């Protein structure tokens, strides 16, 4: 007996129903169901849901009934065409297709219900991709969801869904290597199309003009190559330590606009991450995306309890495509290392390493949620600044659900004290982020700042890209800024070289380097404080360092760029804001707060003990160096108690001198500010004088 004959009359499968809306994808489900019913000798029932245009029409029943009769006639002809005498047609008027299909299956005592994974439309937004899931959750019979969006047809392209259980099968994925070869060929074709072979050898035209032309071609190629390469261009635009200025300027204009995801794609990702139908969590989702980027798409929504939220959904193919492109870029960077023309333009190994780390962080939305939480702690002392609340229960590595701010751009803030105060706190918070906490928003352009009118507060958005600064570099940055303000070019040069970590400075051309830094100081000396942009100053210092082959850390470049963006955003809110005045006040408070912490008895004892331990290590190192050991030839006696007394005295004097210096510096800074009461510099002067006098008395008493 043939296999098909043996299958006929199989107990338990006598009625098969398939849902259709007569679309192309639904017809694939009908074809699959017809073959399935034929195999088991079962009747085939086609069901179509007519969605009422207006609820009122349903109540009166006139126009919708006419539509339903016409649809029933057409569906009956279609059912007989695909299944002969075993074909039956059912048309239902309902605004909820999933509910109507499940009810029809129960009324007809259906054994197997077949639906496509796309092709159902309904009144509710985002119902398209959700119908199959809702049916599989609610139907009492066996449900087969047919893959009607892929290329495969037949049983191998279906997903079998049993009551309270799901068994998933699918076609074998395409091998990675052939895909990489195809992708590599595509990349090479695009590069050749834009004439970027010049980057691997000698350009047709030397100098800035040639580089500018190359930069335009590179930008166009990156835009054409898609998400990974668009992100590569964005990262490169923040790295003047890797690319010439012409490339930085051109890549800063690179756009990552991509076509928005289809509704069913968004729903599929959401339900994969949530593990339940989307309406179990959300009451409504706006089908129009707020933004569509290379990695994610953003929609407004409301939770089941009515809370307004914003949902960030990762593109379903983002991780796979990025991983494949990164694998190709790693191979490319290895080969590019031997190309002198390209190596002169950019260190591809460093670029790919930085790109990979950045993209992997951005692919994990849990990291962004942690960044939001951490930034909230950093700005907690600034009442005009906020971050959105993250709904952690609904957020995963590919889905981020956050508070919907419901405001407008920062520029929409009405003129008044709240706007000016927000501008000052915005700038001061950035000094706090960089110089104190070492954790800052790395992309604070105006589009990532939103004004909430009811709260009169400014919200930080899109914290997927952040920067971190270590404790040592934070101290060096603070000294660098203070040296610049004090116009001490020698100290500024020393601090800049300290940032490089270079010990041997003989080949760095220090005099010429110092001369250019002095010229930068002189240029800004004649400008008004309000005209000096701190971010651009740091960026120009970076360019000077690059010209003299002084390897500044890449984090300094990112810091300068972010500071420039933040200062521009603050200036947009309050053009009269004096960034140096804000910085001076902030540094003053930071220094005094730091001194206050060190004057704490427990802190003083800790630092003195730490200094003692380090001193003991130095003595031991000297003993080992000169061969000195306790014994008859040379005996080294070390009195820790005497050392401790000496250290305590030195610590006390150091604290007095630093605090006195801070008070005197406060006198100078507040005396020149027009926004400070005349009493403040006098108070600083009195405190500084008293501390200086106390220090002198201590020194005289010791000599006596």
Give me the CATH number covering residue 11: 3.40.50.620
- Residue 291 covered by a domain: no
SS3 556: helix
User: Is residue 428 located within the same domain as residue 539?
Assistant: yes
Q: Which residues are catalytic, by number? A: 443
User: Is residue 658 located within the same domain as residue 692?
Assistant: yes
pLDDT for res 282: 93
CA distance 579 to 559: 16
User: Is residue 42 located within the same domain as residue 145?
Assistant: yes
Q: Facing residues of 460 across strands?
A: 449
Which helix (H) or strand (E) is 49 found in, with range?
strand 43-50
Contacts 24+ apart (CB under 8 A), 503-508: 508/548, 508/549, 508/550
Q: Which of 584, 614, 641 is the last residue of a domain?
A: 584
- Residue 652 covered by a domain: yes
Which helix (H) or strand (E) is 331 found in, with range?
helix 318-336
- Residue 310 covered by a domain: no
Which residue ranges of the chain lie beneath pLDDT 70? 1-12, 53-63, 118-130, 149-180, 196-207, 238-242, 255-257, 336-348, 350-351, 501-509, 525-535, 554, 579-580, 583-584, 587-681, 684, 688, 695, 698-704
Domain total of the chain: 4
- Residue 388 covered by a domain: no
pLDDT for res 211: 79
User: Is residue 421 located within the same domain as residue 569?
Assistant: yes
User: Is residue 122 located within the same domain as residue 143?
Assistant: yes
pLDDT for res 567: 80
Cβ partners under 8 Å of residue 353, min gap 6: none
pLDDT for res 468: 86
pLDDT for res 578: 72
User: Is residue 578 located within the same domain as residue 603?
Assistant: no
Cβ partners under 8 Å of residue 50, min gap 6: 64, 67, 68, 71, 91, 92, 93, 94
pLDDT for res 6: 38
Q: Give the CA distances from residue 659 to residues 22, 225, 473, 594, 691, in Å, rounded to whole numbers and listed in that order.
A: 82, 58, 23, 10, 7
User: Is residue 471 located within the same domain as residue 563?
Assistant: yes
User: Is residue 158 located within the same domain as residue 191?
Assistant: no
pLDDT digits (tens, 9 = 90+) for 221-272: 888 887 778 877 877 776 666 677 788 778 877 766 678 888 888 988 998 8
Half-sphere exposure of 579 (CA within 13 A, CB side): 28
- Residue 59 covered by a domain: yes
Residues 306, 212 contacting (CB under 8 angstroms): no
CA distance 366 to 371: 9
Q: Which of 300, 333, 360 is the last residue of a domain?
A: 360
Question: What tokens were used for 213?
Answer: 């032309």
- Does the pTM surpass 0.85? The reply is no
- Residue 444 covered by a domain: yes
User: Is residue 621 located within the same domain as residue 518?
Assistant: no
Residues 254, 219 contacting (CB under 8 angstroms): yes
Domain that holds residue 187: 176-259+320-360
pLDDT for res 17: 95
CA distance 297 to 289: 7
User: Is residue 181 located within the same domain as residue 120?
Assistant: no
Q: Which of 167, 200, 231 is the last residue of a domain?
A: 167
- Residue 590 covered by a domain: no
- Residue 367 covered by a domain: no
pLDDT digits (tens, 9 = 90+) for 443-480: 888 888 999 999 999 999 988 888 888 888 888 887 77
User: Is residue 45 located within the same domain as residue 160?
Assistant: yes
Query: With b meaning 16 or more CB within 10 Å and e meaning fewer, what string describes 285-294?
Result: bebebeebbb
Cβ partners under 8 Å of residue 307, min gap 6: 391
User: Is residue 199 located within the same domain as residue 180?
Assistant: yes
């Amino acid at each position: 007996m043939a296999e098909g004959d043996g299958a006929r009359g199989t107990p338990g499968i006598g009625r098969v129903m398939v849902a259709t809306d007569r679309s192309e994808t639904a017809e694939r489900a009908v074809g699959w169901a017809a073959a399935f019913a034929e195999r088991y000798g079962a009747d085939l029932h086609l069901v179509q849901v007519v969605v009422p245009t207006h609820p009122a029409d349903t109540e009166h029943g006139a126009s919708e009934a006419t539509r339903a009769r016409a649809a029933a006639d057409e569906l009956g002809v279609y059912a007989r065409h695909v299944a002969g005498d075993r074909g039956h047609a059912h048309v239902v008027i309902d605004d909820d297709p999933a509910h109507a299909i499940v009810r029809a299956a129960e009324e007809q005592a259906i054994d197997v219900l077949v639906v496509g994974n796309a092709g159902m439309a309904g009144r509710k937004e985002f119902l398209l991709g959700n119908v199959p899931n809702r049916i599989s959750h609610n139907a009492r019979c066996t449900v087969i969801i047919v893959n009607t969006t892929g290329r495969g047809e037949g049983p191998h392209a279906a997903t079998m869904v049993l009551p309270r259980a799901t068994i998933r099968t699918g076609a074998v994925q395409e091998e990675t290597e052939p895909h990489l070869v195809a992708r590599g060929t595509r990349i090479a074709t695009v590069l050749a199309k834009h004439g970027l072979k010049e980057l691997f050898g000698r350009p047709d035209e030397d100098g800035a003009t040639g580089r500018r032309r190359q930069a335009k071609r590179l930008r166009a190629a990156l835009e054409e190559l898609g998400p990974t390469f668009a992100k590569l261009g964005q990262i490169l635009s923040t790295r003047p330590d890797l690319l010439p200025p012409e490339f930085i300027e051109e890549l800063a204009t690179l756009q990552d606009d991509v076509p928005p995801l289809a509704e069913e794609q968004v729903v599929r990702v959401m339900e994969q991450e949530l593990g339940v139908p989307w309406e179990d969590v959300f009451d409504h989702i706006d089908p129009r995306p707020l933004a569509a980027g290379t990695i994610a798409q953003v929609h407004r929504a409301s939770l089941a309890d009515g809370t307004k939220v914003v949902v960030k959904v990762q593109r379903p193919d983002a991780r796979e495509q990025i991983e494949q492109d990164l694998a190709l870029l790693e191979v490319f960077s290895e080969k590019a290392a031997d190309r002198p023309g390209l190596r002169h333009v950019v260190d591809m190994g460093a670029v790919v390493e930085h790109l990979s780390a950045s993209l992997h962080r951005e692919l994990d939305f849990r990291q962004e949620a942690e960044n939001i939480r951490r930034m909230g702690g950093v700005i907690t002392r600034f009442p005009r600044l906020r971050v959105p609340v993250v709904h952690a229960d609904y957020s995963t590595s590919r889905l981020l659900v956050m508070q919907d701010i419901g405001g407008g751009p920062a520029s929409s803030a009405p003129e008044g004290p709240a706007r000016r105060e927000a501008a000052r706190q915005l700038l001061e918070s950035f000094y706090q982020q960089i110089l104190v906490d070492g954790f800052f928003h790395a992309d604070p352009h105006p589009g990532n700042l939103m004004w909430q009118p009811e709260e009169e507060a400014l919200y930080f958005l899109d914290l997927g890209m952040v920067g971190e600064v270590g404790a040592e570099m934070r101290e060096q940055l603070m000294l660098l800024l203070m040296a610049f303000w004090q116009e001490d070019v020698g100290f500024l040069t020393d601090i800049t070289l300290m940032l490089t970590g270079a010990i041997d400075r003989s080949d760095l051309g220090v005099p010429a380097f110092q001369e250019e830094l002095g010229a930068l100081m002189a240029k800004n000396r004649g400008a008004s404080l309000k005209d000096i942009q701190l971010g651009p100053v740091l960026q120009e210092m970076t360019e000077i360092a690059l010209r003299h082959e002084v390897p500044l850390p890449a984090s300094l470049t990112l810091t300068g760029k972010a500071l420039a963006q933040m200062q521009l955003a603050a200036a947009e809110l309050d053009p009269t804001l004096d960034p140096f005045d804000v910085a001076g006040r902030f540094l003053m408070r930071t220094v005094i707060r730091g001194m206050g912490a060190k004057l704490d008895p427990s802190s003083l004892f800790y630092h003195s003990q730490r200094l003692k331990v380090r001193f003991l290590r130095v003595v031991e190192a000297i003993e080992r160096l000169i061969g000195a050991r306790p014994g008859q030839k040379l005996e080294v006696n070390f009195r820790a108690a005497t050392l401790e007394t000496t250290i305590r005295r030195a610590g006390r004097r150091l604290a007095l001198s630093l605090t006195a210096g801070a008070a005197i510096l406060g006198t100078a800074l507040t005396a020149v500010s027009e926004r400070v009461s005349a009493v403040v510099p006098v108070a600083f002067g009195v405190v500084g004088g008293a501390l200086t006098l106390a220090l002198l008395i201590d020194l005289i008493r010791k000599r006596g």
